[in-house]
Structure 1
């Protein structure tokens, strides 16, 4: 067999380069250059990458008989533009990372080995295609709510029936993202919703977010329902809500104060951040801390608790008692006076007149609390008598 001097020289050079570092045998893939070329350059097949990721390109450089060629420069072009370069290792492999932002699409990669022309080692070229896919993005609403509108980079997207927005981003980067105000015309009249927070500790509806992202993105909302109250005394009789001067309701560390009874709006849920940066929507348990009638609290704090549902009517029992008043002469104990003046816990006064010659009367539905009463319509001295009402009771007033 005859081997030309040029081929012998190239084989000798490759062998000397290989002696500088240990080598490993590799299998040559299909080559772009002719089968008997003196240098073979191949690119490992590329898997599709997602926009925003940095693809890694692996190139193999071998001699005519499959020997790896180490320490040789490789140039990498993307669509004809130089984007990276590397040097083959002892195995004839060069690994290059493309640290650029590629929009979704198809690209042609060209690897070039310039050769060593001065000693007759020819150049080599290999080509392949790279596919960059759009980044799939999901935004979850908590609790799951259809019809929520988000604006991402000027485009609007609406959550589906599962409360999820699915969209694609063609170029990785940082984008403005906004939760638009809830259109309450799309909700039932007894429901209101408002944005509360994101699961990554951002508390404003407008923010910036980087895509693609590995972490789940959630937007949390507070749901408010309208509820009413029904007040009854200990015997089950309805109490006029106009008598209620204020209500204090407490739930999960938050106190709500209302200056009258009637329909009120309250949040039905609270959002907590759990392990894994997930938001969880929890029902709120409410209790009545104070119901004020005539300046007195007529409920025991925390005894009456409720969970909220749309159009709820909460039955609230209030502590109202009756008092039987009688007026007597302190010395001879005969009936005296025309009536009594009652001072309520809030300080206002009201006169009541006896309806019989026995100088007695019953005042029903008095709020539990501290009062004072005195006889009116008699000539003697009638100092006020303290009355602490915590049950149905009789009160005797004396005239000195």
Structure 2
């Protein structure tokens, strides 16, 4: 009997040993990568597993809970669309601050769900053109360049009518949160004929919002006429203007005995009337709007009249002096 009992116990132990044990639940951990700004199609690799961001600018990787280190990498080559370029800038949420600016992050955990943010710098292809205060296109040879300054303090000269790449979005890391902000630019100068045609800082733009930038550069007309200083008759044959850069324009007087010089930027000008029958007449003018000016010219007739007047006065004074001397001589006699 004891032998049978021992045999039954032995069989029970064997059966218990070969019976399947209950399955142990495996915890799945999800690592989410989001982009700022939100970008579609950005490739990320997590431990060799490659995936791209979707419509929301995010991608997720799932793995079993463990205590091993893991790697996350971004591939920003070829991240460009029509008129836009994106370059990786930094991470947030990657645990190790020394790896914030590396394209590959090592030592990431898989112990609980978390999110890592990847920020990108965005550049936009911008084209600048200029118009006058009436909205008419300004020729490029008149204003070939403009100078702008970004709100980051960078100053840059841009060729009018030609495309240039400008920073439009920059990452901002504040209070452990990584976001993007638009970069703004202010127009400093748009030189024409040696003078700035604009007020610095008044015209602004953001490449992320506008890639076709139009600046207003005012130009004015100056109408010049000349009159005889004494008789008031029209005088002169042409107006010669010296511009702020030292260049000279000459326009002949028309039937109205005046000359109009068009499309001048505001600034200081020297105006000379040429071809008159008299002395050289030069006058300074500060141009800030379309205006007319009249130059007074001293002609030869004016000089002759002045000389005759002086002669008559001199003769009169001489005659008066003689009479006074005669009177004095008569009183003595």
Q: Same fold per TM (> 0.5)?
A: yes
Q: Which of 102, 114, 118 does residue 219 from structure 1 map onto?
A: 118
- Indicate the SS of the match to 2:55: coil
Residues 372 and 131 (structure 1), Cα distance of their counterparts in 2 relative to 1, 3 Å cut = farther
Residues 209 and 331 (structure 1), Cα distance of their counterparts in 2 relative to 1, 3 Å cut = farther
Q: Superposed, which structure 2 residues align to 1:282-297 within 5 Å?
A: 282-297=181-196
Q: Which of 149, 172, 187 does residue 272 from structure 1 map onto?
A: 172
Residues 383 and 210 (structure 1), Cα distance of their counterparts in 2 relative to 1, 3 Å cut = farther
Question: Following the alignment from structure 1 to structure 2, what is the Cα–Cα distance between the partners of residues 140 and 129?
Answer: 35
* Larger RCO (alpha carbons 8 Å, 6+ apart): 2
Q: Which of 165, 188, 199 does residue 81 from structure 2 map onto?
A: 188
Residues 283 and 310 (structure 1), Cα distance of their counterparts in 2 relative to 1, 3 Å cut = closer
Identify the residue that residue 198 of structure 1 maps to in structure 2. Answer: 91
What's the C-alpha RMSD, in Å, of the aligned pairs? 3.6
Identify the residue that residue 31 of structure 2 maps to in structure 1. Answer: 137
Q: Superposed, which structure 2 residues align to 1:158-197 within 5 Å?
A: 158-168=52-62, 172=67, 177-184=72-79, 187-197=80-90
Question: Please, which runs of 5 or more residues in structure 1 have no aligned partner?
Answer: 1-126
Residues 303 and 259 (structure 1), Cα distance of their counterparts in 2 relative to 1, 3 Å cut = closer
Q: Does 1:209 align with 2:106?
A: yes
Q: Which of 117, 135, 139 does residue 240 from structure 1 map onto?
A: 139
Residues 395 and 198 (structure 1), Cα distance of their counterparts in 2 relative to 1, 3 Å cut = farther
TM-superposed CA distance for 1:324, in Å, is 0.9
TM-superposed CA distance for 1:181, in Å, is 3.0
TM-superposed CA distance for 1:279, in Å, is 1.1
Question: Please, which runs of 5 or more residues in structure 2 have no aligned partner?
Answer: 1-20, 299-333
Cα displacement string for residues 45-103 of structure 1 (whole angstroms, at most 9, x for unaligned residues): xxxxxxxxxxxxxxxxxxxxxxxxxxxxxxxxxxxxxxxxxxxxxxxxxxxxxxxxxxx
- Indicate the SS of the match to 2:144: strand
Query: What TM-score do the two structures reach when normalised by structure 1?
Result: 0.56
- Which one has the bigger helix percentage? 2
Q: Does 1:362 align with 2:256?
A: no
Query: What TM-score do the two structures reach when normalised by structure 2?
Result: 0.66
Residues 134 and 245 (structure 1), Cα distance of their counterparts in 2 relative to 1, 3 Å cut = same
Cα displacement string for residues 270-296 of structure 1 (whole angstroms, at most 9, x for unaligned residues): 321132x11112234444332222232
TM-superposed CA distance for 1:331, in Å, is 5.2
Identify the residue that residue 350 of structure 1 maps to in structure 2. Answer: 249
